[in-house]
Structure 1
Amino acid sequence: MTRADTVAAARIPDTIQPGGVESENHPWRIRLVKHPERFESSFFQAAKRTAHKILDEIDDADLPYGPRPVAPAHWEMHHGGSLWVKTTSGWRMYRARAGIEWSMQFCAEPSKIDRLRQDAATLVAGFPETLPALAELGYEEAEELLRTPITDADGVEAWTDSLFNACVPMSRGDHQGILPKVPGEHHYPWPVKGADFFRYDDFQLWVTLPDGTHGAVAPVDRRGSGDGHVRLVLASEGSQAADALAEAQDRGLMAVLPPNSSAALQAFAHQIESGQRTASGPPATRRAHAHGNGRDSRAR
């Protein structure tokens, strides 16, 4: 990202002759139109039925993105590159190099989608129980999907809505939520959002910044160090924090917030004593607030 002062100071090469400056006197606009009616294809209906049967067979501890929703909540199937295989210990889901969102199929080049098919076929071949198990669940089309080259839009559509792309099971929040509620994969970059599925339960990844916008932070040292600084890893575009983050990246630095900042205190709130004014120091002796699986707090 280039800062404004850098642009202002940039010299025009001698080989380029200035010809004046043009600008437009009206703001850009986005036209809001009705979404074309979206229906569930027969491919997607079959894939979802199969995914739900698979999820019914999986123990809660083995769910790819738990916990299991409790009614009236339900699983939403994310077109995120779901590669389901049957291992000797049960069903597992891996993720493809790229997932194809439903709307993105209309810009998808068939040969590039076919490479995803080939990747999936190679993976499934390593788990020979997969195709017989899928057939037993009623998903007989799996074998044909994996062996048929994708050469046109029909093939792209079939793959996009198949079990091997369209069935990453997520809660509604993890799928398409927006802060200050649960941040969803649709709206937040995966390198940051993905940490929600492996962070310690007592670390608060998502925080509210002083200007009221939301961001994400990470510790700067390993758990047990007692260091309460946090690194800013995501900030809302146009916010003061985003400007600071962009400058840090330009200069090859980290944007770090001090232990007494509101962001650090939020991040470590369940690891420090109530009312403590710094996130640094020895861990709290009390038990952590229950998150997810409710494990006890341990030292930062």
Structure 2
Amino acid sequence: MSSMQNLFKINFWGVRGSIPCPGVETVRYGGNTPCIEMQVGEERLIFDGGTGLRVLGQSLLSQGQIEARMFFTHSHWDHIQGFPFFIPAFIKGNCFHIYGAIAPNGASIKQRLHDQMLHPNFPVPLRIMQADLKFYDLEIGEKVKFGDVIVENARLNHPGEATGYRVNWRGMAAAYVTDTEHFPDKLDENVLWLARNADVLIIDAAYTDEEYYSPRSSKVGWGHSTWQEAVKVAKAAKVKKLVIFHHDPLHNDEFLDRVSKEAIAAFPNTIVAREGCSIELTQPCAATSL
């Protein structure tokens, strides 16, 4: 049996929320918007298509023909803006299975990816992509199974709706729960269910409590959460490793260093997601470089 068949590895290609923010102050944590790759046995799963997807695409060009499954949480701009620049999708012979829930306005993920590439927003249409693109409309609560991989999903609390995911494989689990806002008086049951006993929980923690509840510039209702709430979820769900994700574009490297220190004090097995890092699901989990 090859080592690849025993591998469950999570690669971080984009960890920033809302808008790309390249610059000298975001070098260490990265400025690309959300894109997570999971190598699960022989399967390649991609979550979200922010600008990090372009970087992932470059890394795949040397690997011959590619088949992967892409899961979108929703279609706000920062989660799809890398898709038109995903070079492997333009190469004949590649195959991508693309999943997403129907939007509140009835649009499928195929329609939404198609529409962002129409004039006057983009110079070439979706149909110019030569890879085999297979689109699937996800039902909330539906389980997607391929081989011995099971992907579960649940609705998240976000304006315009979003979908969280949980990947299960050989007794290990990773939850990807981004673009969700906590409730003021209770933990979100959907988030707890996705995170239950997970080896890794990657969760939206865009703000601090101080920012979220700021009387001057409140973030209540913006659709995102805080690292303090992420810690509460991790403890309640008995998560092994917590990954703080979807960093606010105003949070520079020094700010995220402080968040990391405070979050680790509250939940020791915490990391703040960095572009270019990876996690292998072993016992115990360990962070490494790509």
Greater fraction of residues in strand: 2
Larger Rg: 1
Asked if Structure 1 and Structure 2 have the same fold, meaning a TM-score greater than 0.5 normalized by the shorter chain, the answer is no
**TM-score normalised according to structure 2 size:** 0.29
> Per residue, is there more helix in 1 or in 2?
1
The structure showing larger relative contact order (alpha-carbon pairs under 8 Å, at least 6 residues apart) is: 2
